[in-house]
Every structure is written in C-alpha cells, then in structure tokens.
Amino acid sequence: MSDIASSSFVRQDLLTERPAPVKTTGFVGLMRTRLFNSPTNILLTIVGALLLWFTIVPSVRFLMVDAVWSGKDRAACLTENAGFAVGACWPYIQAKLPQLIYGFYPEAERWRVNLTFVLAVVLLVPLLVPRLPAKGLNASLFFVAFPVVAFFLLHGGGIKGFGLSWTAGLLELFDDSIIGAGQALLSSSKTSAVGPLLWLVGNFIVLVGTAIHWLILPLTWLRDQIQGAGQSVWTDFAVTAAVVCLIAFGLGGGLRAGGRALASSIFAFVAIAAVIKLMGLDRGGLPVVATNLWGGLLVTLVVSVTGIVTSLPIGVALALGRRSTIPLIRIFSIAFIEFWRGVPLITVLFFATYMLPLFLPGNFSVDGLVRALIGIALFTGAYQAENVRGGLAAIPRGQGEAAAALGLSWWKTTSLIVLPQALRHVIPNLVNSFISLFKDTSLVSIVALFDLLGSLRASFSDPKWSTPSTAFTGFAFAGVIYFIFCFGMSRYSLFVEHRLNAHRRN
Amino acid sequence: MSDPIVKISGLNKWYGDFHVLRDIDLDVRKGERIVICGPSGSGKSTLIRCINALEEFQEGEIVVDGIELGPNLKHIDAVRREVGMVFQSFNLFPHLTVLDNCTLAPIWVRNIPKRDAEATAMKFLERVKIPHQANKFPGQMSGGQQQRVAIARALTMNPKVMLFDEPTSALDPEMVKEVLDTMVDLAGEGMTMLVVTHEMGFAREVANRVVFMDAGQIIEANTPNEFFAAPQHARTKLFLSQILR
C-alpha cells in the first residue's frame, strides 16, 4: 500500500478544542514554568520567599502593626504604658514635623516657605508634563524668575538699586581689586630681589586700574546721582529697563524686526516691576531670615534643586571644553574636572565653609549656605561633565560634518545636533548623579547646616520624646522621604528616556 | 561657456607627511556634471570635501561662486551656504523627523520662518518622491529613502553646487537605482554636480566630464564617450579594465 492514494486525506469530523494537558498560564502556570520547574529554581524560590518573610513582615510590624499612632509625649510610646512591644512612635514625628520641614525658621514666617513650595510645584509640574503648552515661558519662569522670587521670599530683605547700581558696584569692586593687587606688588617690590620688575608690573597694573576707574566714572557718577535722589530703586529700574530694551531692540533687528524683542523685554520688565511692587522690595521687603535658621526639608530641597539645576550646565560646558580644540580651554576643563573629582565632597564643603573666607578680599563675604551651594554645584558639575562627555563620544563624526555642510555654525551644530543626541544617550547617568546629589546633601550637616537628616538628629536629643524606638522611627521616616524623591526622579527619568528615544524604536 | 562656478587651482594637501592631494587644478562651469572616479585612497573624497571646507588644505585656492577659500579657511560659512553635500553614510540627524531634518538649516542658517521652510521642504521631499514619510524618523526608513531625504535636505538650502561623496556605495543594489534616478532628475534640472562614484552607467548617462584620479592627482579628464572608448593614460586603461568586465 505504498501508492499515492494512501497519502491523500479528507477530514470527516472537525476536532473540538480541548484544554492543554499542562497549564502554562495563570498563577499555576507561573509556578510550574518559572518558580518550581527545576531543583535550582525551587531552592531560589524558597530562599526568596524566606528573604521576603524576614524583611517585609518585621517592617510592616514595626511601621504599622506595633506602632503607636497618637500621644502627647514619650509616655505614649513606652512599652509599660502601651501594653505591648512598641514599634514606630508616630506621635514623635507628628510633633517634630515642623522642625523637620522648616528647621528653626521663625514660626510666624513659615507661610513664606509654604508659598515657595507651592510656587515651585505650580511651575515645575507643567514643565514636566510634555502635553502642556508654553514650555519656553514656563522654563524661563522656573529657571530665571523663580530663583529670584524664592530668594526674596525665603531670605527676605529688599533692594537699594537695580541693574545700573549693580553693574557700577561690580565694576568698582573689580577695579578696586586690580588697584589693590597693583599696590600689593608695589609694596613688595621694596623688599624683593626682583624689585624693579615688580615695581614695573605693579605700576602698570595700577595704571590700568586707574584707567578703568576713569572709564567707568560716568556710570558710577550716574549711580551716585540716582542713589542721592529719592525713589532710587525706581529711577534705577527705569534707566536699566530703557537701556536693556534698547539693546534688545537693536540686537533683535532694529526697526525691521526688533519689535518682537522689544515687546518681550518690555513685558519682562513690567513683570519684574510687578514683583518688586508686590513684595515691597523697594521698601525693604520681607523681614530677613538668616540662612543659619533655615533647616530640615527646606535646606535639603534648596541645596539639591540648586545643585541639580546648576550642575548640568556646568557639566555640559566642561564636557564641551574638554573636547575643545583650543588648548587653553581644554587644559582648564581637564584640570577642573580632575581636581573636583579627586577631592571628597566633605573636603569641598569644609573648604568652602571654613577656608574660602580667608582667601576672599576683606569687603567680600558670602553666605554660608551659598558657599555650600557653590561647592556642591561645582563638585556635581565635574561628575556631570564626564557623564556628558560619554554621550558626546557616542555621536558619530558624520553628524557634525553634515551639520557643518549645511552651514550651521559650531554653536548651532552643538546645541541643535550634537547635544540633544548626546544628552539622550546619558539620561540614566545624569539622573544617577542627580539622585546621588540629592542624598549627598545630607553631608551639609557637617558644616553646621541642618538639612532633613541634621534636623532629625537634632530632634533626637529632645528628652520629651526620648524612647527606645525614637531613633528608628526618625530614620525610617527620613528614609521614606528620601526614597519618595529619589524614586520619583528615577521613574520620571525612565518616562523621559522612553519619550525622547522615540527615534530609536522602529 | 560661462565662468567657472568652482575653480580649484594649485591645491595641495597633506595628512601629516602623507601628500594626499597634489597640484589639483579643476574648473567646474555652471550646470556642469562631473564624475570623479578612481581607486580607493586616491583622494577623490578628500578633494570634494575640500570644496566645502570639511577638510583644510595647505596650499592653493578654491573659489566657489566668487567666494575665495584659501588655506586659512576664511569665508567657510559663506561657501558652505552655496554648496550642498550628500554623504556615503547619509548622516541624517536621527533624533529629528524627516521634515525637521529638511527644515533645520533653512530655519537656523537662513532665518526662514518655520511655515515657509516646511512648505519648501515638502516641495523637495515630493521631488525625491517621499512626501508621505515626512513625519517618520530616519531610522524607520530604508537606506535608499534615507539617501533621498539627504538629497532633499541639501536642496532645501538652494545650493548652487551639489557634492556627492559615493552616494550609493552604502546601499543595497536595489536601492542604488532609486537614488541614481533622483540624481539624474536633478541633473536634468541643470544643477551643477560633482559626483564621486563607481557607477559608470551614471557617468556615461549624465556626466559632461569624467575625472580619473590616482595617488592624489588628476590622471585624466575627458568627456564620458572619449573616456570610456579611448582612455589615454595606462593607469586609466588598467582601472577601466578592472571595473568594466
């Protein structure tokens, strides 16, 4: 029967569907195919289950089941009063919450901190949601206007002058230090072995300083006139606004196309005027709260947000500098990066806080918090520079060549073609650095700034709340706060990564 | 005949001690199509990359549409605005859509309003027959389509001269034709073109002149008919016998 007919076949009855002999879907399927399908997996599953049992269960017991939820002082959290082995002592957190959030910020002024938080959220959330419009305006409000407003809200105080006075003051300071350096050289020339040379150089520097003095004389004269008259802030403001608007008009294309630039700069100045008026900056502003009174979550957020926002541009600039063809810029960038990466953050903070004041000229002092901020920004900037450089190295040479062939300048090629691609490659690394920066802010507590962790430790010493579980409760709470922020950043970065890398999916 | 739009005289270039281009003199008249061929390493690509200053050179002078480009590379930007370039590896910007690839330079270099730039870009994308893919990313297209986008991108700047650096060498055989067809169309519209290619069929069909290079110098330049039918120099004969079998 090996003829062709035997291989022909016609189906008589259609087969009905029947269930699989071994279930491969659902929970049973998962157990069978993933959890208990081999001796190794059985072992791993048991070990994993035990691990969960020994970590999750005690945590939940400590934080929820055995916790004390209400009370007035330590008595509520003592085992003999509660009648069971007490876990977390939540009334302690409740009582200390203001200190953990505001530090020693005066109670009557805390609405200013709250208002700053609200402003930050109101400006930041629309910036993070891609669907919402007006990203340019939103970004400039958040990155330019918000820091200034936040400073005057949190720190308080007013302004005595405006752009013109500041420019004049800055130039004067610059000029004074030039003349000072020249005179220092002159005085040391009397004793030095290379006296004549120092004398010559010193005289030259003094001469330059004097020349600059005469050059900026019109500006300082105008400043003195304005300061002498009443309403100095508004006069100065008007002069500055007029000058800046004219410059914007000129740069924007003059009569032909400058209308837009003029309108936007006038709009910006009107907004600035409104803020000055609203906050009463011309009349002394809000009462000053010195930064050594700030503390808690406020300091943690101020330090980390400033660090994050300033370190990225620093990092980008250094990374580009390190790849520059101009030797001076390249050497400077390399030296800068290697210096900051080679020094521990604690050393940087110590140096910024205790040694920097010794090096600055006498009439020039910088607030302690600002010093720590600058230290952290530069430190993180150096790390970000290496992250960004990794991204830059991943961009093929042809990209730059194609842009150049189209007539794009170096700046436009870098900002439109190279950087957007490079930064997308390194989003995970950048956010990694941001997260570690956020946690490293707790190091500022060693330079007498009380961040969240510092405030927490300070609160441990309160005898009113001293119980066996106070420290555990406090650290658990701080841990949860840090985790919420870091996990939030992590998830958001994944979202951004996914969105911006649309072109890498087919 | 009109004045040369590209005038290369006494061009010499070294990579370190290696003399890549030796005494190159070449005039390209307006509307002329020149095919440059030769063995690899003969300096063909380097030569056309010198014309839009992607490579610097040590001696000689290149004048493009009256703009002088000397060894110190002044007027780079002015020259690059007049010269379009198509690369072997396309070099489209992968993070931008096809349309954005084509509008980037008009908007940022020529300051053309976005709306007008997009209209122009769509016109050129229609000419290279891919208008319906305008919102795709380059990575989602075939090599031939990417190269046609690259041609459209160069054309949006209204260049007076187009340079092609082995535009079909990185393509599958099937896609070579679609790109060559686009280039033939472009030639038919009177564009001045310098093409480095090994596509001898294209040279025969389109070129006014074929330039043969070897060891950094121009060995022979002639009309395609003469060049293929009666090559003069021994090196040219050898080269042609290798590739035309």
A266-286 pLDDT, tens digit per residue, is 888 888 888 887 877 777 778
- Report the pLDDT averaged over residues B214-220: 89
Q: What pLDDT, on a 0 to 100 scale, did the predictor assign at position A230?
A: 66
Per DSSP, the residues of A43-76 read HHHHHHHHHHHHHHHHHHIIIIIT-B---SSGGG
Q: What pLDDT, on a 0 to 100 scale, did the predictor assign at position A254?
A: 67
pLDDT for A376 beyond 80? yes
Q: Do A506 and B93 touch (CB under 8 A)?
A: no
Compute how many other C-beta atoms are within 10 angstroms of the C-beta atom of residue A337.
22
Closest C-alpha to B52, from B28, B24, B30, B73: B73
Q: What pLDDT, on a 0 to 100 scale, did the predictor assign at position A505?
A: 64
The answer to whether A295 and A455 are in contact (CB under 8 A) is yes
User: Which contacts (CB < 8 Å, 24+ apart) does range A111-117 have?
Assistant: A112/A153, A112/A154, A112/A156, A112/A286, A112/A289, A113/A154, A113/A298, A115/A153, A116/A150, A116/A153, A116/A154, A117/A301
Q: How many DSSP H helices and E strands does chain A contain?
A: 24, 2
What CA–CA distance (Å, rounded) separates A440 from A105? 22
What CA–CA distance (Å, rounded) separates B215 from B39? 9
pLDDT tens, residue by residue, B133-173? 889 899 888 888 999 999 999 999 989 999 999 988 888 88
Compute how many other C-beta atoms are within 10 angstroms of the C-beta atom of residue A141.
18
The answer to whether A160 and A154 are in contact (CB under 8 A) is no
What CA–CA distance (Å, rounded) separates B82 from A407? 9
**CB-nearest partner of B93 from A399, A412, A500:** A399
Q: What pLDDT, on a 0 to 100 scale, did the predictor assign at position A43?
A: 93
Q: What is the DSSP letter of A326?
A: S
Candidate from A170-179, A330-339, A391-400, B15-24 with smallest mean pLDDT: A170-179
Q: What is the DSSP letter of A449?
A: -
Q: Which comes out higher in pLDDT, residue A44 or A285? A: A44
* CATH code for the domain defined by A94-105+292-504: 1.10.3720.10
Residues of B with CB under 8 A from a CB of A: 52, 54, 77, 80-81, 83-85, 87, 89, 91-96, 104-105, 108-109, 137-140, 150, 153-154, 157
A504 shares contact with chain B (CB less than 8 Å): yes
Q: What pLDDT, on a 0 to 100 scale, did the predictor assign at position A196?
A: 77
B1 assigned to some structural domain: no
Q: What is the DSSP letter of A287?
A: P
Set of chain A residues whose Cβ sits within 8 Å of the Cβ of B84:
405
Claim: this prediction has a pTM higher than 0.90? no
Q: What pLDDT, on a 0 to 100 scale, did the predictor assign at position A363?
A: 60
Q: Do B137 and A424 touch (CB under 8 A)?
A: no
What CA–CA distance (Å, rounded) separates A74 from A81? 10
Report which secondary-structure segment, H or E, holds B24.
strand B18-29
Task: Quote the minimal CA–CA distance from B184 to chain A in Å.
Answer: 22
Average pLDDT over chain B reads 88
- Report the pLDDT averaged over residues A108-131: 90
- Report the pLDDT averaged over residues B84-111: 91
A408 shares contact with chain B (CB less than 8 Å): yes
Q: Do B54 and A405 touch (CB under 8 A)?
A: yes
Torsion, Cα of A101, A106, A112, A113 (10° steps) = -10
Q: What pLDDT, on a 0 to 100 scale, did the predictor assign at position A212?
A: 84
pLDDT tens, residue by residue, A107-117? 888 899 999 99
B62 assigned to some structural domain: yes
In chain A, where the domains are located = 16-65, 94-105+292-504, 163-283
Q: Do B87 and A402 touch (CB under 8 A)?
A: yes
SS3 for B214-243 is ECCEEEEEECHHHHHHCCCCHHHHHHHHHH
B178 assigned to some structural domain: yes
Q: What pLDDT, on a 0 to 100 scale, did the predictor assign at position A469?
A: 85
**Strand pairing category for B192-196 and B161-165:** parallel
Looking at the structure of chain B, the number of domains it has is: 1
What CA–CA distance (Å, rounded) separates A406 from A400? 10
ipTM: 0.89
Q: Do A406 and B80 touch (CB under 8 A)?
A: yes
Q: How many DSSP H helices and E strands does chain B contain?
A: 9, 10
Q: What pLDDT, on a 0 to 100 scale, did the predictor assign at position B86?
A: 93
Q: What pLDDT, on a 0 to 100 scale, did the predictor assign at position A82?
A: 78
Compute how many other C-beta atoms are within 10 angstroms of the C-beta atom of residue A313.
13
What CA–CA distance (Å, rounded) separates B151 from A203? 63
Sheet containing B209-214: give its strands across: B83-86, B161-165, B192-196, B33-37, B209-214, B217-222
Domain CATH code at residue B200: 3.40.50.300
Q: Which domain holds residue B112?
A: 6-244
What CA–CA distance (Å, rounded) separates A71 from A292? 31
B232 assigned to some structural domain: yes
What CA–CA distance (Å, rounded) separates A435 from A487? 9
pLDDT for A9 beyond 90? no
Compute how many other C-beta atoms are within 10 angstroms of the C-beta atom of residue B126.
13
Q: Do A401 and B54 touch (CB under 8 A)?
A: yes
